[in-house]
Amino acid sequence: MKLTHLIACTLLSWVAYAEPPVFASKKAPADVTPTADPDSHFWRDVPRIIVTTDYAGKHVPNNRTEALSRWTSGNLYILFVCEFDELTLKPNPTTKEETNKLWEWDVAEAFLGSQMNDIARYKEFEVSPQGEWVDLDIDRGPEKRGTGLAWNSGFEVKARIDRTKKIWYGEMKIPFQTLGVDSPVSGTRLRAGIFRCAGREPTRKLLSWQITGMRSFHVPERFGILELTDQAHQ
């Protein structure tokens, strides 16, 4: 009976991820400078995903996270809208250079991979409420070909905090070339993980678009799909 139950659970898990969820990215007419403003014309009427649970699927109150995306022939944009009950910010922030170990503070994160047959390879992008940033070339495979923190994507970020509404906003503008996508078109797909870290241990919150099954975001087999589209759809 126990073996039968185990087999059933394994099959259900496989079925659940056989068709990964899709995060739609709406085509934009032209590139813009990031504003981190969801009410701007650029971000108006753009589809979004909503994240309210952690890596284990447990509801995280007061930290609702929305992610929106747009694209042009040159760049991929992602905007995070992050409710907060409190902020955990790094002292003496700098936005002029990469902040190592930024993930130890409040951040929103996008993991993006263009290689569908090599899921161990992907890029990690982070933005903090203060506009700090980090980009990483990740390789979880045995050959470890990633360059880690030394990698420089050339991406741009913009962030701002609305303490009255208790929401912070973070926007990323990521060159497609750094993702290994030379000619993006409608229908182009990237493997994608959307995450957020909030607070400090022992009450640190690790929000995740998809359940990873462990206290880590680096589970590429559980990523969803970011798909470029010509028009918005739900």
The whole domain housing 99 covers 21-229
Q: What is the CATH number of the domain that holds 130?
A: 2.60.40.1190
Residue 104 lies in a domain: yes
How distant, in Å, are the alpha carbons of 3, 163, 164 from that of 110?
37, 24, 26
Residue 149 lies in a domain: yes
**With contact defined as beta carbons under 8 Å apart, do 169 and 81 qualify?**
yes
**With contact defined as beta carbons under 8 Å apart, do 120 and 220 qualify?**
yes
pLDDT tens digits for range 90-115: 999 999 999 999 999 999 999 999 99
Residue 169 lies in a domain: yes
Residue 6 lies in a domain: no
Ramachandran region of residue 57, left (φ > 0), alpha (ψ -120 to 50) or beta? left
Residue 5 lies in a domain: no
**With contact defined as beta carbons under 8 Å apart, do 151 and 229 qualify?**
no
**Cα–Cα distance, 215 to 151 (Å, whole number):** 25
User: What is residue 167's three-state secondary structure?
Assistant: strand
Tokens of 90: 């790094």
Residue 4 lies in a domain: no
Number of folded domains that form the chain: 1
Residue 10 lies in a domain: no
Residue 1 lies in a domain: no
In the numeric block, the tokens 């971000």 are attached to 43
Query: What is the pLDDT at residue 3?
Result: 38
Residue type, 125: F
pLDDT tier at 10 (50, 70, 90 boundaries)?
Answer: very low
Residue 14 confidence (pLDDT) above 60:
no
Residue 231 confidence (pLDDT) above 90:
no
